[in-house]
Structure 1
């Protein structure tokens, strides 16, 4: 009995002892925190003799970030250490811009050839000259077509960029503007028209070459050009109001000189928009709009030169 009691009484003690031992064993065998990469591979790297720390990749690598303040534009410098990639992309950008400029001036040459042909027809052919002067309704019709097509091409990017509607609208615009220019030229002496054509060609060629070579940025002078254009616009309104009452030759001469200067500056402005390495640049998709602007500048310069140097027919 005593032994049984002792044995019974000893069981909890033994069980508690076993539980304590098991807790100690559990504490001894409990897994610790997982080792780091350096600790796990320390032995292998020690055997291999490579004790350098592992290469870490930053969350935002430096090669994936471009500082906007140091990003190059067309024709500027490049990113340091990226010469090969920069050369490729820079060549592609310049090639796109070069194709764009070639396309604009090809369209412009075609427009100018059509206009010169219409001006020559209206100036040298007496029957055609007499017909257009005796039917001014065609002048106002062509002016309406010119105004509508210009608004569509200038204000609507869809028709202006969608082939072939952009070229069709530009062709209609060119024909209407050529008719207006030819009818204006028919009222002047033939020698005066030829002289003004030569002067316009020389001025436009020299301004184009100067705009491509100079370091002066005409695209940053938008405010000055806008002010000059407003002065020209309101001066034209005043002259249109005064014309039915009295014709003032010197006032019209000043207006023509101002108009020639303003649109010569606009020609330099529009030319530098095509280059792509100035403060403002034109998108390569806007080749129709670029040709339209330069064509209008040249036509306006010719018309103002005609008012300055031209002599009317008897």
Structure 2
């Protein structure tokens, strides 16, 4: 499921190039607090929709069998996500189109993740979910309390994301458990860094108008962290 990592790069690169255009000089504390509430409310809904969809795919045998017998469904959800995320870069400030696109994108990503988890043991999926929630909460609290400037991490993180995507393609040609373990562990660490980076941008850099951008940033970070932890746990359990 390196497609979600690719999606993350497409979105972040586009958003990064347009960030200065919408950044305010110094939003008030009240405005920033309202912005944070809006972003995390949207993010909560996105995560709940994804978790519920994944649970339906995992626990209902008829749905699971349909998914396994319909490989085209993954392609539809993947390319549909790509289309909606491109549209969101253009229309993310146009209400209510931005909300419809955000809902469509979230549902398509939820289907992609739901398909993925059907190929893993339920216990492994639950472990990955709990770990992801704990790590995200811990990193969020750390970033909120820290006075460091984490925006300097951007160049290194984007380079690491490109390397990770290239390594993902390499995995199709070199079937190695060691490579799988390295990619999974490296990917999990990379998206821990992105959670810190994007949370810092949310707190200090982004305009209060950018609630769509901020929520998708964190949503994709969470999905990628979850999927890499899922593969990491699976690789460890095989040994």
TM-score using structure 1 length: 0.65
Residues 40-119 of structure 1 mapped to structure 2, 5 A cutoff = 93-119=28-54
Corresponding residue of 2:96: 164
1:185, 1:193 within 8 Å by CA — same for their partners in 2? yes
State the 1:230 CA deviation: 2.2
Residues 235-246 of structure 1 mapped to structure 2, 5 A cutoff = 235-242=167-174
Residues 23-42 of structure 1 mapped to structure 2, 5 A cutoff = none
Corresponding residue of 2:22: none
1:204 is aligned, of 136, 140, 143, to 136
> Which entry has the higher C-alpha Rg, 1 or 2?
1
Query: How far apart, in 2, do the equivalents of 1:240 and 1:263 lie?
Result: 22
Corresponding residue of 1:274: 202
Matched, 1:187 2:119: yes
1:266, 1:297 within 8 Å by CA — same for their partners in 2? yes
1:299 is aligned, of 212, 223, 234, to 223
1:84-128 CA distance string (max 9 Å, x none): xxxxxxxx7000000001000000000000000011111111111
Which consecutive residues of structure 1, in runs of 5 or more, have no partner in the other structure?
1-72, 75-91
State the 1:226 CA deviation: 2.1
Corresponding residue of 2:178: 250
State the 1:233 CA deviation: 2.1
Runs of 4+ in 1 over 2 A off after TM superposition: none
Query: How far apart, in 1, do the equivalents of 2:134 and 2:103 lie?
Result: 25
TM-score using structure 2 length: 0.85
Equivalenced residue count is: 213
1:193, 1:310 within 8 Å by CA — same for their partners in 2? no
Please identify, of 107-116 and 221-230, the stretch whose mean Cα deviation from structure 2 is larger.
221-230
Query: How far apart, in 1, do the equivalents of 2:80 and 2:158 lie?
Result: 26
1:199-251 CA distance string (max 9 Å, x none): 00000100110110112221122221122122212212222333xxxx21111
1:196, 1:310 within 8 Å by CA — same for their partners in 2? no
Higher relative helix content: 2
